[in-house]
Amino acid sequence: MSKLESTGTCFLCSGKLSKRAMSKHLQNCRVKSADKVGDPKGKAKVQGATQTFHLLVEGSPMHWLHLEASADATLEQLDAFLRNIWLECCGHLSDFDIGGVTYAGMPSSDYREERSMKIALGRVLGKGQKFRHTYDYGSTTRLDLKVVSTREAAFPARFIQLQARNDPPEIACCECGAPAVLVCTQCLWDGGGWLCKACSRNHECGDEMCLPVVNSPRCGVCGYTGEA
Ligand SMILES: [Zn+2]
Ligand SMILES: [Zn+2]
Ligand SMILES: [Zn+2]
Ligand SMILES: [Zn+2]
């Protein structure tokens, strides 16, 4: 495993794997850990065989998620899931682009044809489908999604499960090389601004410009703190 290669955790078996190995691993691990599938809080009811989608979500080379979603879950649910884990700062607008069609949280018919997110994944996705999610039309965070595979499985209805996630990337303080815990949103524009606690106290822009370093592609953007 190269030092630069992104690694992550499989939440079905707690295994650590490289980004490249994760898709294949999950296809086997899902079958082995079938009894563990379900809502951790026990609210979702597992039905008989239902169609599911294996989704890979990428926000940057270092930020990725593997989800499994039942075909009757909606784009609106997927949007809420992505906001919760990676995106939500101030309730910005968002949409999905699937094959050139826009599905928006608040569809407008004014200047472009938009459909509602209240539609089941099974009606808009198929195997191999690539699509895009856009959060915030100002300081935009764009996510690339892909249907890696589909299967029939005992899986809860209208449910999305997080099955793997990248481990937090190690980012060094620009001043001293210690692990960064804050990022200056001013300096981030010039590709810097990563700071450890000690160096942030003397940072020229002031600490009101700093946001916490969090495991998300929206780290350092708008007011994102990782606490939705
Ligand atoms: Zn696993
Ligand atoms: Zn915001
Ligand atoms: Zn430092
Ligand atoms: Zn700064």
**In the predicted model, what is the mean pLDDT of residues 80-84?**
98
**In the predicted model, what is the mean pLDDT of residues 221-228?**
87
Q: What is the pLDDT of residues 146-185, one digit of tens each?
A: 999 999 999 999 999 999 999 999 999 999 999 999 999 9
Residue 198 DSSP label: H
pLDDT of residue 48: 72
> Tokens 């044809």 label which residue?
113
pLDDT of residue 36: 55
Per-residue pLDDT at 197 exceeds 60: yes
pLDDT of residue 38: 52
Please tell me the distance between residue 213's alpha carbon and the centre of ligand 2 in angstroms: 16
d(CA 13, CA 20): 17
Residue 176 CA from chain centroid, whole number: 30
Please tell me the distance between residue 85's alpha carbon and the centre of ligand 2 in angstroms: 15
User: How close are the terminal C-alpha atoms of the chain, in Å?
Assistant: 33
Q: What is the pLDDT of residues 7-55, one digit of tens each?
A: 999 999 999 999 999 999 999 999 887 655 554 554 555 667 899 999 9
More confident residue, 206 or 172: 172
Please tell me the distance between residue 199's alpha carbon and the centre of ligand 2 in angstroms: 26
Residue 53 CA from chain centroid, whole number: 15
Q: What integer best gives the mean pLDDT of the chain?
A: 91
Please tell me the distance between residue 174's alpha carbon and the centre of ligand 4 in angstroms: 11
For the CA atoms of 87, 81, 105, 125, the dihedral, rounded to the nearest 10 degrees, stands at 120
The answer to whether 195 touches 210, Cβ cutoff 8 Å, is: yes
Rg of the chain (C-alpha set): 19
